[in-house]
Structure 1
Amino acid sequence: MELTFTHRFDASIDELWAMVHDPASHVAKFTRMGHRDLEVLAEEVGDDALDITIRRQVDIDVPSIASKFISPANTVTSVDHWKRAADGSCAGHYEVDIKGAPAQTRGTTRIVADGDGASYTVVLDVKVKVPMVGDRIAKALRPQLEAQMLQEFEASEAWLAGER
């Protein structure tokens, strides 16, 4: 199942790049979203790139159809890569591993100038590897995924507003 989320920020693309390029913003985002026991496993910051791997504990509301396959408390490891292009746009890709869950999540990110602000688009591809019911489980998780993305955008707005 593929989902696309876009959020427009009143901040400039340079301000958004400064945020996603700063490893502390990723930790702050997940903390604000209620994730706990965060550990940065790896980070590499270059002039125009960031690679960061973060492991954390995440609690979710598991739909009844998924309760046999997905726990409400999960160890999640995300690997994010961001790069700034010569035209100023920012793009990346990520993978999320949920320990012990038959789910695979990966996607792409893109930030582009949008008038006096910037638009941030996240494409999320979720696959649940359970024979015969995997697609139904993924669709049942959709409201949870939508809520997580809204929380992520809200956390980014808070960071940009100086709430760290």
Structure 2
Amino acid sequence: MNLSATHDYQQDLDSLLQYFSEEDLIIEKYQALGAKNVKVQELKETSAGFVVTTYRDVPANVPSLLKSVLGDYNTIKQVENWAWQDDGSLVCAMSVTIEGVPAEMTGTLHFSEPFSMVGDGPVTRNEINLTITSAIPFVGKQLVNFIGQDSKQQMEAEYQFLKELELTT
């Protein structure tokens, strides 16, 4: 399953980037989105940008068909490789796994700024592209659909959380 979304923010890239690159703000963001036991395992600079690896327990409103595969809370491992581009934009290649669940999500975030001028400030655009896969027949399709729907909700919740920051900055 492929998912894509475009999120525009009335904030500069540096302000948004803090919530993807600073440990305390990463934890704050995920906790605000309902995660527990948020841990930043790795946060380091690379020659092209930075790498972030996080673990968090997220609630799951699981359909009965998937209860044997998913629990009420699931541990997510997310690895993000961020790299600055020649045009000044920032691309994140990411992978997400759910511990003990036979599915994987991979994708990219592409932040560019200023996309255009709106009102008094720059607009930062985040173009999101995700692919969710499972190698299990039958149940795997249901699993991918559930993870896809849940991912859409999480993307929207994160978008709203970050947009709220516009009101306080």
- Structure 1-normalised TM-score? 0.86
SS in 1 for 2:142: helix
Give every structure 1 segment of 4 or more consecutive aligned residues whose post-TM-superposition deviation is greater than 6 Å.
none
Instruction: Give the superposition deviation at 1:13.
Output: 3.0
SS in 2 for 1:76: strand
Alpha carbon RMSD of aligned pairs, Å? 2.2
Q: How does 1:1-164 map to 2 (within 5 A)?
A: 1-45=1-45, 49-113=49-113, 114-116=115-117, 117-162=123-168
- Is residue 80–residue 92 contact of structure 2 (8 Å, CA) maintained in 1? yes
Instruction: Give the superposition deviation at 1:15.
Output: 3.1
- Counterpart CA distance in 2 for 1:89 and 1:102 is 33
- Counterpart CA distance in 2 for 1:46 and 1:142 is 31
- Is residue 50–residue 83 contact of structure 2 (8 Å, CA) maintained in 1? yes
- Is residue 11–residue 160 contact of structure 1 (8 Å, CA) maintained in 2? yes
Residues 86-143 of structure 1, C-alpha deviations (whole Å, 9 max, x = no match): 3211111111121111111111110112202011111111112322231233123333
- Counterpart CA distance in 2 for 1:40 and 1:142 is 24
Instruction: Give the superposition deviation at 1:18.
Output: 4.6
- Is residue 70–residue 102 contact of structure 1 (8 Å, CA) maintained in 2? no
Q: Which sits farther off after the overlay, 13-22 or 71-80?
A: 13-22
- Is residue 19–residue 29 contact of structure 2 (8 Å, CA) maintained in 1? no
- Is residue 36–residue 56 contact of structure 1 (8 Å, CA) maintained in 2? yes
In structure 2, the gaps of 5 or more residues are 118-122
- Matching residue's letter, 1:120: N
Alignment size in residue pairs: 163
- Is residue 97–residue 105 contact of structure 1 (8 Å, CA) maintained in 2? yes
Q: 1:141 to 1:120 in 2, by over 3 A?
A: same
Instruction: Give the superposition deviation at 1:47.
Output: 7.9
- Structure 2-normalised TM-score? 0.84
- Matching residue's letter, 1:132: F
Identity of aligned residues (%): 22
